[in-house]
């Protein structure tokens, strides 16, 4: 039986690469894209839910899917404050996960970050870790956390720090061997393919995927 996919953050670096994969997949009869603005794609499988994430609970009954792909995320610079960053990377993520789990979604694929740790002294990593900890408590059959290092690809909004870091990691790429492979930069398109392939396994349990594993999954 074909399934329904739900994707949040379809206009971002990873989400914009993931949405066409979901629409092309024989796995899904319907793909629901949730966001603050519509995506430009037109496809017979695609249903768009344009909404304010601050009122996500009001739209709970339209968030029914088998597989949930959460690509939501921002930066401290884009958000403008710790409170605004927390709202996007914790509240929106956890609320979406909780609502879809309540609607009997089976799997969650969540883009997190390398270094996600609820005990970290680094605020970004701590919030990412707190979101993971909250999601772990939800009754999905399978949860996949994708923890890429720096992401490669074109964004709508330029992130100068990430661009500089990506250049440096490209130069260091041949030296990042063994345990250091998890620090290799990874293209957004590779993360997208890895997310779909994880869902296709129809597994169970909680899994965290670092950059090196994402690259392996997304390039097979």
The SS3 of residue 193 is helix
Tokens standing for residue 215: 């690259």
Catalytic residue of the set 86, 90, 124, 183:
124
CA distance 21 to 170: 26
Q: How far is CA 173 from the centre of its chain?
A: 24
Dihedral angle computed from the Cα positions of residues 197, 199, 202 and 207, in that order, rounded to the nearest 10 degrees: 90
Tokens standing for residue 191: 């993360």
Catalytic residue of the set 28, 69, 92, 128:
128
- Catalytic annotation on 28? no
Tokens standing for residue 103: 């609607």
DSSP assignment letter at 59: G
- Catalytic annotation on 128? yes
Give the active site residues: 124, 128
């Amino acid at each position: 039986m074909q399934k329904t996919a739900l994707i949040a953050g379809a206009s971002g670096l990873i989400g914009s690469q993931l949405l066409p994969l979901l629409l092309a997949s024989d796995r899904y009869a319907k793909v629901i894209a949730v966001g603050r603005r519509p995506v430009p794609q037109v496809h017979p499988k695609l249903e768009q839910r344009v909404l304010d994430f601050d009122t996500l609970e009001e739209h709970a009954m339209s968030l029914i899917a088998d597989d949930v792909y959460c690509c939501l995320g921002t930066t401290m610079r884009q958000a403008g404050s710790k409170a605004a960053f927390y709202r996007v990377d914790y509240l929106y993520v956890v609320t979406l996960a909780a609502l879809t789990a309540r609607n009997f979604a089976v799997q969650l694929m969540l883009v997190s970050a390398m270094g996600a740790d609820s005990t970290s002294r680094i605020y970004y990593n701590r919030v990412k870790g707190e979101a993971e900890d909250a999601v772990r408590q939800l009754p999905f059959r399978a949860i996949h956390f994708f923890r890429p290092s720096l992401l490669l690809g074109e964004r709508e909004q330029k992130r100068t720090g990430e661009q500089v870091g990506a250049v440096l990691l490209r130069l260091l790429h041949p030296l990042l061997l063994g345990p250091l492979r998890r620090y290799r930069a990874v293209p957004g398109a590779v993360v997208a393919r890895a997310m779909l392939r994880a869902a296709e396994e129809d597994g169970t349990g909680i899994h965290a995927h670092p950059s090196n594993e994402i690259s392996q999954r997304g390039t097979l």
